[in-house]
Structure 1
Amino acid sequence: MIGRPDRQRPERRRSVAEAIFEDEIGLQFGVYGEFRLWSAYQPIFAPRGRSLQPVAVEALIEPRRVATPVAPQVFFDSVVAKDRLFVETMCRMLHLGNYRNIGVDGLTLFFNYNPMINDHFGRALAEIRLMARHLGDFGLEPAMLVCEITEQATDEHVLAGLVREMRRDGVRIAIDDFGTGHSTEARISLLSPDIVKIDGGWFAEFCRHAAAERFFRPLV
């Protein structure tokens, strides 16, 4: 009697929660292959009276291979295409989970969203809803968050729908690195962001030209 061949079992979808761990002092870190991923928070200051005061932090990822720091671009370039959404989601959940460990209450939290990882509105929507469901677990409110749309290309209709969903939840929107890549006037017109972060190198070069003031007045 010839036995029936075993059917190949579908690969189990990995859970982001299974890839996040805590160290001995309660800091969360993610695991992806040989890399360990840690949150780093860059302060953002604003003038308050005659001094600069911290008003926000930008959440960035600090990858390490064993105990050796690795440039973020080197790490992200090593992530295979099918895992990019998984890794981006893990990074975002790490930033939300570690925010309370900064030790300063009330700072706005900026986090990056790379449009290249998601060109399907249904998947993009699911990601935003997943984040919104977990905010209460971290003691965060949507009004404390600013989503930075990075300069990569994407389906602009998907991106516009994603931004509408985040705004509906109370998350503010920023355009990152204006003046580079796809962070252009057209994207500003499409998304009507709350904040525009201007690329420093582009701004320094642009201000060499007499047209700079005429350009920036209507933009502001």
Structure 2
Amino acid sequence: MAEHALMLLLAGVRHLPAHIEARTWRQFEFFPKIGTLRGSTVAIIGAGGIGRALIPMLAAQGADSIAVNRSGSPVPGAISTYPASRMDEIYSRADHFVIAAPATPATRHLVGRAQLAAMQPHSWVINVARGSLVDTDALVEAIESEQIGGAGLDVTDPEPLPDGHPLWDLTNAIITPHDSNPPGVRPAAFADHVSKNVTRFAKGEALAALVDPVAGY
């Protein structure tokens, strides 16, 4: 899923959708619209397993990462980590935003009009978590008004995204049908996770990816 998030972000920043639709040579038209991750800062909202896997991928592109998690405990590889209670501080510091947080009542519309308004005109919002974390109507307005650069969405609200929904008509909205973790790639990843946890258990070590029933994830 981290790989998918990086793909969506690169596709947006590099103006890939317009390239795919082009049926003529438009080099000089595209030049000023193509960005780069090098030298940028990406905020990862929900720096759990997916977010932590994404950080070195971004580093390989020359991008810094800011992490947001529930506690604010430092995340390896991130230049800084914020607790969820201080999340509003990241919008002035980051160029792009990857949402990988769990869906709970507290995270519904975690990114709404106020957060989108605080982003930069070139910012891309990537959501590989759950559609409910983003206010869809506010997102459409932000893209249409060029308040932000665009969005890469593997999840939507509503989901499936209905035919005729405004998001389908936005060039700067890249939508994949919740297939960032398809069945064909799950067994190997799951087997690796189980194997590592069995080893941890045998050594008396803490298990990875424990579920917190109180938090809901």
TM-score category (smaller protein): 0.3 to 0.5
Between Structure 1 and Structure 2, the one with more strand by share is 1
Q: Name which structure has the greater RCO, CA cutoff 8 Å, separation 6+.
A: 2
TM-score, normalized by length of structure 2?
0.36
Max Rg structure: 1
